[in-house]
Structure 1
Amino acid sequence: MSDKQNLFNKVWDLHTVGTLPSGLDQLFVGLHLIHEVTSPQAFEMLRERGLKVLAPERTVATVDHIVPTDVQSRPFNDMLAEQMMSAIEKNCQEFGVTLMDLKDSRQGIVHAVGPEQGLTQPGMTIACGDSHTSTHGAFGTIAFGIGTSQVAYVLSTQTLAMSRPKVRRVVVNGELAPGVFAKDVILYIIRKLGVKGGIGYAYEFAGEVFDRMTMEERMTVCNMSIEGGARCGYINPDQTTVDYLEGRPFAPQGEEFEKAAEWWLSLASGEDAEFDDEVVFNAAEIEPTVTWGINPGQSVGINENIPAVSAFPQEEQVGVQEALEFMELEAEQSMNGVKIDVAFIGSCTNGRISDLREAATLVKGHKVADGVKALVVPGSQLIAKQAEKEGLDKIFIDAGFEWREAGCSMCLAMNPDKLKGREMCASSSNRNFKGRQGSPTGRTLLMSPAMVAAAAIRGEVTDVREFSAVPA
């Protein structure tokens, strides 16, 4: 491999089976993750064609999207959810695919399960019928979200037909201020580059800020790269990556791990690596961030005001006005003090143990504001178990939060956890589109888990740095 190759192109070339007549590359998929929502139709397509799952050993299923997080007894009250659950149980048994269901202690959100089980490893290609598969890029993988027909294609061929995107290096140097988290970093990047800025690109996140991040923080950043229009996002593997994976159930063991680690580290983009584009940001300019609109790029720092409509390019002004009217906000107003009805901590973006610790640090000794419904939903059963071992569940419950079972919950709201009417939700999830949280008229403000905790306590959007116990 050339020293001038970045990690993305190294991994792409290693997994290219051939070039199709259409000009698309046929990529071998090292790991295929599936869940109960986008897989039923794909398995049915296999049955109709008399096909098998080509590599069941490279296919792993879990349940997360439609899973209730309060009462999980079967059959589910929602019959469509019950049908989806029954379908994935039947399909995995029939086609020989490993399923981490509700009875399995490894169950959780698909993008939490892969990393914590050591299924996600540097240098892999990963596919999943879920747009936030980019999460796995935190490990130096090329990870793509795919559609249902592509899920069937991967199940039957273990390959994907794709065009190679360009690679943009996104550098953030300097030090983050206290109270500024990985979620703030990626919201800032999306705001600056735009929700369509990454179209046609893979993002390589680099620089001092990402070098210092934990793996869980890196997952938050890569998770939302798709919200900036990028096909995927990744961070080069380093010793932090190696240390995280060591001892994980599906990671290599003993001498094999040492060999694997050496190869993983060799994949990182070198100093001479070439990129199609590069942008550089200063960490000192990033502050706690909150969205005000109806896409993740419509955000401001907590001490900034929403820009005037005229400050946006003319082609965006109609959409900006639509967002303000839907959210019942005004141009040039501050987000500080905006009232909330619901607070949600969870999702594949921010439902990991470090997220829960950060929020619990803020919550301890406080009470949820009157009239606010507050939920904490761990990303997996193992995360829930660890949080309960540390007493985080008790901190949340004592403060007035609801402590739930693992699942996607109030992110996509394909389960009972939904907004009602015009409720305003402070959310640690990844999308603030109209109707995203289950109500066509519900409103979503994206922010870090610590900011959600602060909003839950005050009953309004609040600068997390006003609390004495701001997590470092």
Structure 2
Amino acid sequence: MTQRPKTLFEKIWDAHHVAQTAGGAHLIAIDRVFLHERTGASALKSLAASGRPVRDPARVFAVMDHIVDTRIGRGDDTLMPGGSAFITETRAAAQAAGITLFDVNDPDQGITHVISPELGIVLPGATLVAPDSHTCTQGALGAFAWGIGSSEAEHAMATGVLRLDRPKTMRVTFNGTLASAVTPKDMALHLLATYGAGGGAGHVVEFAGEAVTALDIEGRMTLCNMATEFSAMTAIIAPDAKTYAYLAGRRHAPASFDASYWSKLTTDDGATFDREIVIDAATIAPMVSWGTSPEHSMAVTGSVPKGPDRAHAYIGLEAGQTLLGTPIDAAFIGSCTNARLSDLRRAADLLRGRHIAPTMRKALVVPGSSAVKRAAEAEGLDKVFTAAGFEWRASGCSLCFYAGGESFPEGSRTISSTNRNFEGRQGPGIRTHIASPETVAASAIAGAIADPRELAR
């Protein structure tokens, strides 16, 4: 009997399907659980209080990334009031549970979705969950990875399974070739601007097409990272030779790959999706957000469209105004979206021999992991950034989302390589435009929103 063609997601789902409940939900086996200090202690302490051990500690990892300061020389103390308790309690709970912990100053510390691929913790065909909505980043390596709550993390650690309703499927195909200075961040913002922040709701999105397969693994991570802004349950990209080369030799990756399984992790010819979107990659320009949602994004050379009154009030721009030349006060390169080594290299290429505008009040670079920081320093990228007027920091999330600690000068208009431009995302009264690292660098030099293609010529 001939088996019907399946999507990549369906193959991973079927391989991890344990049972279906009487109510119609499904039990899915979980290969990896990743915790961070913002919610990790509560999940671990609740599990211990119930008298249930972590079922398989070797499959559970924790990291200090959300609350920890990014100041060089940091420790357990934080600018966030009460933040040190998150760190010390997570440390104690992780040690008691016997799970792997990447502590504040561990050489492998970093943002969850950066260090998991770096260390080979996430693998093609695996299921991975973490209490963070940007866990979808890791689908770039062909994994089924999604964000959960702390109670679900507790359940996954205790039982090795989670209950899920089966999501719908969507394929977003980027045909053709990206133009110069157009990045995966621009691909994601173009998708959001065209189809809306709710366009992927309830779906697992598979990214495909020539422009996607041409991306390196770090670029694929950026694209998948933004799927949660599309309201997707998660995103995934079929693994290929680039994936295997990226994972080879990483600490938690297998010494040799199971080609008989991994080579089949592709969508079969003839497989159907609940929805299909096709985009001509050549039509995408460098993008910048303008409002209160990533869907409020536009080509950097365009004019602000009419949107919700609150979005215009927040960003201080009226419909019809151009983005180019809008003065900015601060610049940020970092986050789980765009703080990998390739991101820093591209931004440094534009900054080399240049300096940020004298009107800039603050400019920061926060590497995505301690390993990225060391590698960048070995290449001298830190010196490029500091010579250009940027402050060089340690790895962490605290300047991507405001939790009561680090922020930018009050009233700043910031251009940022992060993933969200919600009100207050980078601090009270801060107006955030999200863009690629190249656009952030070009804008910092100009002291105003700028087109990176002008510097790349």
Q: Give the TM-score range, shorter chain.
A: over 0.9
Residue 29 of structure 1 pairs with residue 20 of structure 2: no
Q: Residue 310 of structure 2 aligns with which residue?
A: 322
CA shift for structure 1 position 383? 0.3
Q: Residue 335 of structure 2 aligns with which residue?
A: 347
Q: Residue 395 of structure 1 aligns with which residue?
A: 384
Residue 271 of structure 1 pairs with residue 269 of structure 2: yes
CA shift for structure 1 position 415? 6.5
CA shift for structure 1 position 155? 1.7
C-alpha offsets along residues 39-75 of structure 1, whole Å, 9 cap, x if unaligned? Answer: 1221222133111111111001111111111140344
Partner of 1:89, secondary structure, is: helix
In 2, the alpha carbon distance for the partners of 1:2 and 1:450 equals 46
Q: Residue 315 of structure 1 aligns with which residue?
A: none
Alpha carbons 1:409, 1:415 under 8 Å: kept: no
In the TM superposition, what are the counterparts of 1:50-199 in structure 2 within 5 Å?
A: 50-70=51-71, 71-199=73-201
Alpha carbons 1:7, 1:267 under 8 Å: kept: yes
Partner of 1:68, secondary structure, is: coil
Alpha carbons 1:34, 1:60 under 8 Å: kept: yes
In 2, the alpha carbon distance for the partners of 1:348 and 1:2 equals 39
Q: Residue 417 of structure 1 aligns with which residue?
A: 406
Q: Residue 11 of structure 1 aligns with which residue?
A: 12
How many matched pairs? 454
Alpha carbons 1:376, 1:402 under 8 Å: kept: yes
Alpha carbons 2:81, 2:405 under 8 Å: kept: no
What letter is aligned with 2:193?
A: R
- Percent identity of paired positions between Structure 1 and Structure 2: 42
What letter is aligned with 1:207?
A: G
Partner of 1:347, secondary structure, is: coil
In 1, the alpha carbon distance for the partners of 2:434 and 2:241 equals 31
C-alpha offsets along residues 129-163 of structure 1, whole Å, 9 cap, x if unaligned? Answer: 00000000001111110112111111211211111
CA shift for structure 1 position 97? 0.6
CA shift for structure 1 position 262? 4.1
Alpha carbons 1:377, 1:409 under 8 Å: kept: no
| Residue 286 (structure 2) aligned to one of 280, 285, 288 | 288
1:379–1:326 Cα change, 3 Å: same
1:177–1:77 Cα change, 3 Å: closer
Alpha carbons 2:402, 2:424 under 8 Å: kept: no
| Residue 305 (structure 1) aligned to one of 299, 303, 306 | 303
CA shift for structure 1 position 221? 0.3
Alpha carbons 2:79, 2:406 under 8 Å: kept: no
CA shift for structure 1 position 81? 1.4
In 1, the alpha carbon distance for the partners of 2:276 and 2:451 equals 31
Alpha carbons 1:345, 1:377 under 8 Å: kept: yes
Alpha carbons 2:60, 2:99 under 8 Å: kept: yes
Alpha carbons 2:68, 2:76 under 8 Å: kept: no
In 1, the alpha carbon distance for the partners of 2:427 and 2:197 equals 22
CA shift for structure 1 position 125? 0.7
Q: Residue 447 of structure 1 aligns with which residue?
A: 435
Q: With the length of structure 1 as denominator, give the TM-score of the two structures.
A: 0.94
Q: Residue 354 of structure 2 aligns with which residue?
A: 366
Alpha carbons 1:290, 1:301 under 8 Å: kept: yes
1:403–1:3 Cα change, 3 Å: farther
CA shift for structure 1 position 216? 0.1
RMSD: 1.4
| Residue 396 (structure 2) aligned to one of 404, 407, 420 | 407
In 1, the alpha carbon distance for the partners of 2:106 and 2:342 equals 23
